[in-house]
Amino acid sequence: MKRIGVFTSGGDAPGMNAAIRAVVRTGVAAGLEVVGIRSGYEGMIAGDLIPLGPRDVANTLQRGGTMLFTARSKEFLTPEGRAKAAANLRTAGVEGLVCIGGDGSYRGALKLMQEHDIPVVGAPGTIDNDLYGSDYTIGFDTAVNIALDAIDRIRDTAASHSRVFFIEVMGRHAGFIALEVGIAGGAEVIVLPEDPVDPSVCAEVIRDSSRKGKRSSIVVVAEGGYPGGAQGLAEAVKTRSGIEPKVTVLGHIQRGGSPTAMDRVLASRLGAAGVEALLAGKRGVAVGQINDEIALTPLEEAVQQRKDINRLKYKLAQVLAL
Ligand code: F6P
């Protein structure tokens, strides 16, 4: 293997640059040429490839976003789109790929390998932490800390006014971000897609908090935790109880900013592991970190298996909200 490609795909996540840097530097150290593919599968289809050397990735470790840009490509979902992408990779002499992204990106990489025999390795890059095969995904820790900072600020004003706040965090269909920030932010209620909530029960917990002398209540709502997210749940609670919650949707601020040390280190390890896997002749695998060790999981399994939230943590959160 002489030349490999690296790209980021799907939603950007803080730490993606650290992973790209690790792919480039580990690859070059092993005698490989590395090319960056810009804008994910869109750039693969358009042939937007650039050579990357160690200096090209200098000063990127601490930056949010992705220096290679990203996209959610519709064309790549078609066999024709994938054929164009594969032809461009062949013309450029790319013999293996490291795909940094979430489950949609993994599915695309798998198809590319199955249909066009291009070796691919996935590295989990998504703030959602919903990828099987790694305890944590690149970007999750940063997103959690950004959301937590916001929740701490909201708690100040909520307590000053004796108010109830519903705060929506990202995570798509998964509640990892909500659970983590809910515990760290001392939320009275955490609403997860993994455990649908009854608005009347939610209202009762809030009323009970107030009876117990709490001056504020924070309800952390995963965006997939209730139809209409935090706004939908706030309206349902208001209708049933007369409580008038304030709603804050944190949105994309959770995806921006400088990655935490944990994300930088995780991304560095996983980027390097991606190159090592390709060099070792592995294909169709996802690299991950499990119990602080690098682990490889077949991509097929990574996209099929559902990663569950930690139920013990969830129970703990309920006890600590007493
Ligand atoms: O997968 C990452 C994520 O930020 C999800 O948490 C969220 O549901 C989605 O992407 C938002 O996607 P977009 O940036 O395309 O609106």
122 and 179 belong to one structural domain: no
- In angstroms, the CA 174 to CA 178 distance is 9
83 and 144 belong to one structural domain: no
Taking the CA of residue 172 as reference, the ligand 1 atom at the shortest distance is 8
Domain for residue 311, yes or no?
no
CB under 8 Å to 212, separation ≥6 — which residues? Answer: 322
- For the stretch 155-183, pLDDT in tens is 999 999 999 999 999 999 999 999 999 99
Domain for residue 309, yes or no?
no
For ligand 1, atom 1, name the residue with the nearest CA: 11
Domain of residue 166 covers 140-255
Q: How many CB atoms lie within 10 A of CB 261?
A: 9
CB under 8 Å to 214, separation ≥6 — which residues? Answer: 188
Strands 33-37 and 3-8: parallel
CB of 81 shorter than 6 A to ligand 1? no
For ligand 1, atom 10, name the residue with the nearest CA: 11
The reply, when asked if residue 90 is annotated as ligand binding, is: no
92 and 79 belong to one structural domain: yes
Distance 172 CA to ligand 1 centre (A): 7
Q: Domain boundary at 255, 280, 296, which?
A: 255
At 290, phi and psi to the nearest 5?
-125, 125
102 and 145 belong to one structural domain: no
Q: Structural domain tally of the chain?
A: 2
Query: Which residue among 128, 130, 141, 263 is the active-site one?
Result: 128
- In angstroms, the CA 37 to CA 99 distance is 10
- Give the tokens for residue 186: 């001392």
Q: How confident is the model at residue 315 (pLDDT cuts 50, 70, 90)?
A: very high
- For the stretch 270-306, pLDDT in tens is 999 999 999 999 999 999 999 999 999 999 999 999 9
CATH of the domain at 15: 3.40.50.450
Residues in the chain, total: 322
The reply, when asked if residue 254 is annotated as ligand binding, is: yes
pTM of the model: 0.98
User: 195 an active-site residue?
Assistant: no
For ligand 1, atom 15, name the residue with the nearest CA: 11
177 and 242 belong to one structural domain: yes
* ipTM score: 0.98
